[in-house]
Structure 1
Amino acid sequence: MRSLYSLQMIVMINLAVAVLCADKYSRSDFPPGFVFGSATSAYQVEGAASEDGRAPSIWDTFAHAGYANGATGDITVDQYHKYQEDVHLMAEMGLDAYRFSISWSRLIPNGRGPVNPKGLNYYNNLINELISHGIQPHVTLHNFDLPQALEDEYGGWINRRIVNDFTTYAEVCFQEFGDRVPYWTTVNEPDVFAVGGYDGGITPPRHCSPPFGVNCTRGNSSSEPYIAVHNILLAHASAARLYKKKYQGKQHGFIGISIYTTGNFPLTNSVEDAIATQRANDFFVGWIVNPLVFGDYPDTMKKIAGSRIPTFTNHESELVRGSFDFLGVIHYSSYYVEDDPGSWELKQRDYNTDLAVKISNVGNASLTYELPILPWGLQAVLEYFKQVYENPPIYILENGQRNRRNSTMEDTSRVNYLHAYIGSVLDAVRNGSNARGYFAWSFLDVFELLDGYESGYGFYYVDLDDPDLKRYPKLSAHWYSHFLKGGSISSDVLIKLKQNFFALSQGHFSQ
């Protein structure tokens, strides 16, 4: 492993170089086989939350308690009933792949036990529909939606029993769908899931303890985030080992896990801020990836969290290390990092006080609802994986621009964002990154975790007041389709698309 000094030099070099992100390119500039797609997740897109045998998940419980801006995913955009229409739109757009998640509580309502035949039928139909249109299914097994039955029975991810239950659920998926699904992601962004759900209590399942969380009724913010991630890593490793041993040889698929990342840059040139930036990388990326690559948590985390972070046995370390074929990167924005020595003086500890940094926005993020366009942040993340973690195969599984949901169909900011970030991925690949695919979040405007239907990341606007939930392509849908079908991308393309947007919106895509 490289020294702290060399790691910081890597980050700073990337910051300086990445401002040269490609502006003019086409998909033919990417390596053969590089995959372009779009993404959603089950609770955010399916609807039919209480239909055909599906049972509640912790996300249902969270939303129905009013924590998602008063909205729920009971209906959302109803892909459960409209999947054929949506797949047709994906094919018309030109997607190579569609990333979606399986609702564990739709497939196995009680978390363990009998498989729900109607849930099984739905996912078979969706997968078959995708394949019939030449679209590759990329499946995530858990996306913030643990069956509520397992949470109620033994506490879900903070109990070691979850490892067996998750492995059994994963095997059902491998058995039933693995002949057609080439890519499996076990758990979506466990770093965010653990901090939000078990420290601050702002995401499902809302575990937290004073003074760190709001309206806490259960949990321990000091230890549970670390316990949850530990069990997620063990469950991932168990499922991956099963897949590799029993299914991979005949199904020829790949398995991995995803990590939420931010571009982290020192606020100043001080040694303290440089060390704090590395600490931030350790606490987010290293928390998940160090065990997968090296078999243990970063030394920084172990030293700071002490006995509150679980210890891998030698056997567990061997199981976790190397238990992936690819890593999924989720990335939206970047931050300046400043050392916060005052955190060390606090006697009550949680993940954030252990982290001991202050973060601030790069650019004018505080002045706009939209995310700032900082593509060198993603490029720096990809370079970090290359330099620190032996350049593993990477799929960018989420990246996209947020708009207010009803703001405009002419979503120029989303086009500019995607143009810049896809260009940064191209530059990273040219610089030796092992990135192999890019998925824009999201295909449709869906139910979002914290703000329900206030924001939209989608290529398609969905009219929630229309009983048929009609889909309407935005300017970004035409832009992405132009790129996917081989068109050259440059600033001039956006001008031409905007000039023709009204005509393009009349029901067809054009190169």
Structure 2
Amino acid sequence: MEQILFLIFIFLSFAFSGRCSDVYSRNDFPKGFVFGSAVSAFQWEGAVDEDGRIPSIWDTYVHSSDGPTEDIACDGYHKYKEDVRLMYSMRLDAFLLSISWPRLIPSGRGPVNPKGLRFYKNFIDELIRYGIEPHVTLYHNDLPQALEDEYGGWIDQKIINDFTAFADVCFREFGSKVKSWWTINEPNMLAWGGYDLGCVIYFLFYISDSSAYNNMLLAHASTTRLYKQMYKDKQHGSVGITLFAYWMVPFTSSEEDKIATQRAKAFYLAWFVEHNSSIKKHGRYNYPDVMKRTVGERLPSSSDFLGLIHYTTLYTAHLSSSIHAGHFDSDMNASLLRMLFFHGMCFDVLPWGFEGVLKYIKQNYGNLPVYNLENGQPTNQHSSINDLGRVEYLHAYIAAVLNSVRSGSDIRGYFQWSFMDMFEFINPNYTYGLYYVNFSDPKRERSPKTSALWYSALLKGKTVSLQKLKNRSMSSSPGVSCQ
């Protein structure tokens, strides 16, 4: 009841929508702008050893410690119909899911698992039945362990053909109903974190000639080419790739830190946007030399759009020491990590950073079409479901998207992360969900948080005010703490 009164207080107090970022409704967004939410297969499905699925590298990693596992997770594999009804009640336009490679093709190549195929067909059909557009990520970090054991996964070029064959199955089986495909989830983080530095320190601005990174680019290029040659004319869909995109500002006003910030943007954003997405610039398309040498004229002309994953903004400082994989000065390493809002802490609410990313893409890369695929705030999974901190975060960042739209950025959709609390392998105590999931309950009961009710009201056309939200937060209980 308190949540309902709170929402009435926010929404019904306003009978107008302004042009300032404080007050807006979904009616201020362009026609066709998509609002959605998202999950990943590994974190949501559970049923890790059911119906023919075999382990992925994530299973192996999680089971290497004594902590909680994803074996059941949210039990989405069995509860997907219930979850789609929740999406419908919220009035989501779209939903981003990923396909579990080891569920669809358990050995990584070869026969398709009919039960895995049936599950994804049923899930996609259920979304469409309720008028929810499916967006599909082909690879969200769950490589079949069999391929890792055989040749080391992404570090070997054999992965290119295996991934392309996996994508071919997905295009063929689901493509008549899926029009938005995302090949590889955040390769700029995955290559460095999984193959160069290790997950604990993968947020450093480290650039390497990673074979894993190169193979991800080649796999994306091969998959995009396959879709355009074999499926696009019949299915009329589009293919893109996702980029993990922090915004960066100088740590001090020194000229060195300003130059370091520009250098970080060039390597961390420009390198991936320009090469991964093959942006048209100065009348030509560009790919890294390794891709030109290996694939040549078979490279696709471009990705159709770019997916952005953005959570917060970081300070950037000049470092006089060089960094090499596996060799860090401990003092320097610690100082870098203290700049990161991670490991269960709240992300600072810095929506202007998101505007900075979108403006950077607009000004430098021909206003490439963009979807935000992940944006959200972690909170303590064991705290109250009255998550006012998450509401304030979402309100501010969606307002930043609106400001960017009004400034001319070609951003076409916003996907909140994540639809419900899921298995979080970095820190299981901090989750991103709009819905609380009781992981102690065998039934994995879902309960709406204040953020779910807030997002639903926004999607139903209510007008929202950040100042009223702040006033309410200060005059009542603080809600969920991020600490």
Which TM-score applies when normalising by structure 1? 0.81
Counterpart-to-counterpart distance in 2, 1:361 and 1:382: 26
The residue that corresponds to 1:254 in the other structure is 238
| Farther off after superposition, 40-49 or 386-395 | 386-395
Residues 498 and 278 of structure 1, relative CA distance in 2, 3 Å threshold: closer
CA distance in 2 between counterparts of 1:366 and 1:109 reads 33
Residue of structure 2 in register with 1:376 after alignment: 352
Residues 52-111 of structure 1 show CA distances to partners (whole Å, capped at 9, x for unaligned) of 000111111011112xx8121110010000000000000001100110100000000000
Q: How does 1:226-305 map to 2 (within 5 A)?
A: 226-291=210-275, 292-293=278-279, 294-297=285-288
| Between 484-493 and 37-46, the greater mean CA deviation after superposition | 484-493
1:324 equivalent to 2:303? Answer yes
Alpha-carbon distance in 2 for matches of 1:465, 1:480: 26
Shift of 1:349: 5.0
Q: Does structure 2 retain, via aligned residues, the 8 Å contact 1:259–1:327?
A: yes
1:461 corresponding residue in structure 2: 436
Aligned to 1:196: 193
Cα displacement string for residues 433-452 of structure 1 (whole angstroms, at most 9, x for unaligned residues): 1100000000000011312x
Once residues 325 and 434 of structure 2 are traced to their aligned partners in structure 1, the CA distance between those partners, rounded to angstroms, is 42
Q: Hey, what does 1:410 align to over in structure 2?
A: 386
CA distance in 2 between partners of 1:99 and 1:352 (Å): 37
Q: Residues 404 and 295 from structure 1, CA distance in 2 versus in 1: closer, same or farther, beyond 3 angstroms?
A: same
In the alignment, the residues of structure 1 paired with residue 439 and residue 251 of structure 2 have an alpha-carbon distance, to the nearest angstrom, of 42
Distance 1:476 1:235 in 2: 37
Distance 2:267 2:102 in 1: 31
Distance 2:459 2:472 in 1: 15
In structure 2, C-alpha distance between the alignment counterparts of 1:23 and 1:281, rounded to whole Å = 29
Q: 1:460, 1:351 → 2: CA distance?
A: 41
Partner of 2:12: none
Which ranges of structure 1 fall in alignment gaps of 5 or more residues?
1-19, 213-220, 298-309, 502-511
Query: Any idea what SS the aligned residue of 1:373 has?
Result: coil
* Structure 1 segment 90-105 matched on structure 2, within 5 A: 90-105=87-102
Counterpart of 2:63 in structure 1 is: 64
- 1:388 matched to 2:397? The reply is no
Percent of aligned pairs with the same amino acid: 51
Aligned CA RMSD, in angstroms, stands at 2.9
Tell me the amino acid that sits aligned with residue 169 of structure 1.
Answer: F
State the Cα deviation string for residues 422-479 of structure 1 (Å, max 9, x = none): 000000111111100000000000011312x211100000111212111000000000
Q: Partner of 1:164 in structure 2?
A: 161
Deviation of the 1:278 alpha carbon? 1.9
> How many equivalent residue pairs?
445
1:111-190 to 2 correspondence within 5 Å? 111-190=108-187
Over 3 Å counting, the alpha-carbon distance change for 1:349 and 1:474 in structure 2 is closer
Contact 2:217 2:291 in 1 (8 A): no
In 1, Cα distance between the equivalents of 2:130 and 2:86?
A: 10
* TM-score, length of structure 2 as denominator length: 0.86
2:311 aligned counterpart, secondary structure: strand
Distance 1:383 1:21, change over 3 A: farther
The answer to whether 1:336 aligns with 2:315 is yes
Change (3 A) 1:481 1:185: same
Code of the residue aligned with 1:284 in structure 2: it is Y
Partner-residue secondary structure (3-state), 1:312? helix
Corresponding position: 1:73 with 2:64: no
> Residues 95 and 341 (structure 1 numbering): CA distance in 2 closer, same or farther, change over 3 Å?
same
Q: Is the 8 A contact 1:400 1:440 kept in 2?
A: yes
Contact 1:37 1:438 in 2 (8 A): yes
**CA offsets 1:475-505 (integer angstroms, 9 cap, x no match):** 0000000000000011366489989x9xxxx
Q: Distance in 1 between matches of 2:40 and 2:354?
A: 22
Matched to 2:195, the amino acid is: Y
Aligned to 1:486: 461
Contact 2:343/2:426 (8 A) holds in 1: no
Residues 1:426 and 2:402 are matched in the alignment: yes
User: 1:222, CA displacement in angstroms?
Assistant: 9.2
1:447 and 2:412 correspond: no
> Residue 435 of structure 2 contacts residue 446 of structure 2 at CA under 8 Å; is this kept in 1?
yes
Letter in 2 for 1:134: G
SS in structure 1 at match of 2:384: coil
Amino acid paired to 2:450: L
Partner SS for 1:199:
helix
For 2:296 and 2:425, locate their aligned partners in 1 and report how far apart those are by CA, in whole Å: 33
Partner letter of residue 401 of structure 1? Q
SS in 1 for 2:231: helix
The corresponding residue for 1:477 is: 452
- Amino acid paired to 1:486: G
| In 2, Cα distance between equivalents of 1:473 and 1:59 | 28
CA 1:365–1:170 in 2, change beyond 3 Å: closer, same or farther? closer
Q: Secondary structure at the match of 1:339?
A: coil
Greater Cα offset, 235-244 or 313-322? 313-322
Change beyond 3 A, Cα 1:238–1:45: same
Q: Which letter maps to 2:29? A: F
Query: Could you tell which deviates more after superposition, 134-143 or 282-291?
Result: 282-291
**Which is worse superposed, 475-484 or 70-79?**
70-79
For 2:271 and 2:67, the matched residues in 1 are separated by 32
For 1:236 and 1:37, how far apart are their aligned partners in 2?
A: 24
Q: 2:374 is matched with which residue: 366, 378, 398?
A: 398
